[in-house]
Amino acid sequence: MDAPLLPRNPALALAAGSSTLLLRAEYFQGQFDARAFAARYPHHRILSTNPLVLEPEAGTWVYLARFGAVVFWNASPAVVDMVLADLAGMPGLGTRVEAARDDLRVHLGAEADRVTFSEVWLRELTLDKLKIVSLALAQSVALDSVEADVSRALDRFQPVVEALRSEGRLVPGQRELLRTVGFAMSVRSAVLDTLTLFDDPPETWESEALAHLDSALYDQFDLEERLTAVNQKVAYLQDAGSTVLDVLAHRKDQRLEWIIIVLILVEVVLFVWKEFLVR
């Protein structure tokens, strides 16, 4: 059974009308260590350790995903600034991605749980529902960052691909090409590390209602389609990088072959010249 964050008596929650909670999601590059965070900042009240859910003050919750996303529920600017400052000091986490940010409204007191465009309607708020809604929003902002990184890698590869198509050769120089391949490989590695953390929430394994809510959120944020698109682009980057490295290797082999041929010719000329002088 879900562990309620709001009063256990449903009538108390519904009597106040349909309350609205504002959610804000941010994303940090890197992976989040919940145990290290809890040890470093023990002043935060912890409601869940896996994933880490905090209650910095009454009626405010913070969900921290291990892939670097953080979701604030009904948090004041002071609470947001405090938690973001704490996260900025965590080892293993990179910089906050300013472009990867999203908001969501959650309405309480609905007749049934449902998901509409940019809004979620819940009968009541429970810890399990908070985790499921937060995970979907966290995955969405993480994908925003991943999609931007992949797009940058594709943009850097585009001139290389165009030169191969139109001129049949690699441009620019070898060092710049290797930088482009290295950038693409680093993006691919970071993307794969992030996507492997996109597990289904365990709460859905024991509740059909929670599974339906999770599925509706997954569809609303287009997570499956976006994941598929990212995986296809990452596969393309891998193929393109391999092709460039193969062409560079072939170019190097050809250069070595020409060097060997020139050396053989030099040897032949020297041999003929010596034979001529002897005679």
pLDDT at 10: 33
Tokens for 51, please give them: 């994933």
Tokens for 135, please give them: 């995970």
Tokens for 235, please give them: 């596969």
**What is the arrangement of strands in the sheet containing 52-57, beginning at the earlier edge strand?**
46-49, 52-57, 60-64, 69-73, 20-30, 93-108, 119-122, 114-116
CA distances from 130 to 33, 51, 53, 102, 108 (A): 20, 11, 9, 16, 12
pLDDT at 64: 94
CA distances from 133 to 35, 213, 217 (A): 22, 8, 7
pLDDT tens for each residue of 205-235? 888 888 999 999 989 998 888 888 888 888 8
Rounded CA-CA distance 47/189 in Å is 33
Phi/psi of residue 105, nearest 5 degrees: -110, 135
pLDDT at 176: 67
pLDDT at 251: 58
Cα 276 to chain centroid, rounded: 72
List of the chain residues with pLDDT < 70: 1-18, 165-180, 193-198, 245, 247-279
pLDDT at 72: 96
Amino acid at site 89: G
If we measure between CA atoms, which residue out of 116, 84, 124 comes closest to residue 220? 116
Phi/psi of residue 104, nearest 5 degrees: -155, 145
pLDDT tens for each residue of 123-159? 888 899 999 999 999 999 988 988 888 888 788 777 7
Strand partners, 26: 70, 101
Q: Which residues contact 16 (CB under 8 A, 6 or more apart)?
A: 109
pLDDT at 135: 93
pLDDT at 129: 92
Rounded CA-CA distance 135/48 in Å is 14
Q: Contact at 8 Å (CB) between 61 and 140? A: no
- Percent of residues, the chain, with pLDDT higher than 70: 70
